[in-house]
Structure 1
Amino acid sequence: MDPVNLFDLAAQQARWLSVRQNAIAGNVANANTPGYRTNDIEPFDKVLDRSRVAMTSTQTGHLSGGATEAGYAIKAEDPKHAVLPSDNTVAVEDELMKAGEVRRSFELNTAIVKAFHRMIMLSTKA
């Protein structure tokens, strides 16, 4: 099993979050475009399933999974809402909720990387 580099994993998630943020921004920008369909990308856990990261459980009951290479497929969402007056499926409220999730995920990603960086720096001090 290859070692998991936390910083590579964090960078992969940051790239995924950037792609998702871009898709959300496109949805908001096209909120009044007639016939526009909401776009989103696949969840990060599915991206991880295709990446080289393989989780191993240390005890029974812990989660495990595995996979191969990551890519971010943008796909049109199934319309959850009735077609709006502009004949599209963009609900701005939903898009703003998604944007908030992306922001919180970026903040968590950054905090984890900072904590691990600090830990590594402390462990290498002589």
Structure 2
Amino acid sequence: MQPVNLFMLATRQAEWLSARQTSVAGNIANANTPGYKAVDVEPFEKVLSRSVSTLAATHATHFGAKAGEVSFRNREDDRTTATLPSKNTVVLEQELIKAGEVRRSFEMNTAIVKAFHRMMLMSVKG
């Protein structure tokens, strides 16, 4: 039996979400700081694509790719950054949207891990 990489993937995403939550909180905290430039982490798809060796398609129809290949779509942020009169680039509405996305992603990550863990326990119990 091969090791289950779902838990490793969920851990990596939780770490990324934690870093993103930190950057969003820092942006919100510095919303009134003159000259502060808003920061964000790179998309999780890019982080995951660097470690694509941990995921591999075992069947030709998995991931919609050929066996052994995994492709991820890079989602470009379509929101533009505005520069305020104080030369600050933090837009609170965008940061609050990002904070909501992080919260929902944490909840989904937790729900998936919980369901997978329950499934594994059921298969072990028989």
What TM-score do the two structures reach when normalised by structure 1? 0.80
Percent identity for Structure 1 against Structure 2? 59
Equivalent residue for 1:90? 90
Q: Does residue 31 of structure 1 match 2:31?
A: yes
Q: Which is richer in strand?
A: 1
The CA deviation at 1:4 is: 5.0
Equivalent residue for 2:6? 6
1:1-126 alignment runs, 5 A limit: 5-51=5-51, 52-56=53-57, 58-59=60-61, 62-63=64-65, 64-65=69-70, 80-126=80-126
**Cα separation, 2, equivalents of 1:115 and 1:58:** 26
Q: Tell me if structure 2 keeps the 8 A contact 1:4–1:53.
A: no
**Cα separation, 1, equivalents of 2:36 and 2:113:** 37
Q: Tell me if structure 2 keeps the 8 A contact 1:23–1:41.
A: yes
Q: What per-residue deviation string (whole Å, max 9, x for no partner) do you get for residues 20-48 of structure 1? A: 00000000000011110010000000001
Q: Tell me if structure 2 keeps the 8 A contact 1:24–1:95.
A: yes
5+ unaligned residues in a row in structure 2: which ranges? Answer: 72-76
Count residues with an aligned counterpart: 114
Equivalent residue for 1:70? none
Q: Tell me if structure 1 keeps the 8 A contact 2:82–2:91.
A: no
Q: CA RMSD in A?
A: 2.3
Q: Which is richer in helix?
A: 2
